[in-house]
Structure 1
């Protein structure tokens, strides 16, 4: 864990030494990729949750 934290500190130091435009060019693709991955994950989880709720609701209506 210590080696990872040392690596991360060196990355932060390198990134903070860059100019604003260079920082933006480096950070934005990473942030956008993370945001896209989280959106795809949430879409799948929520889609499956809604599907399960509809299935449960249909079972309840069929039982009545």
Structure 2
């Protein structure tokens, strides 16, 4: 764990030494990729949850 934390401290130090525009160019693709991944995972989880709720509702005999 110490190695990962040391590496991350080095990345932060390197990133903070860059200019604002360069920081934005480096950080935005990573942030957008992570946001997209979280959105896809949430979409799948919520879609499956809704599907299960509908299946349970129809199994109870409720026609709506």
Q: TM-score, normalised by structure 1?
A: 0.94
Q: Which residue pairs with 1:41 in the alignment? A: 41
> Partner residue of 1:54?
54
Give the equivalent residue in structure 2 for 1:5: 5
Deviations 1:6-60 (A, max 9, x none): 0000000000000000000000000000000000000000000000000000011
Alignment TM-score, normalising by the size of structure 2: 0.94
In the alignment, structure 1 segments of 5+ residues that lack a partner are none
Aligned length: 62
Distance 2:7 2:57 in 1: 51
| Distance in 2 between residues matched to 1:56 and 1:12, nearest whole Å | 49
List structure 1 runs of 4+ shifted beyond 2 angstroms: none
Greater helix share, structure number: 1
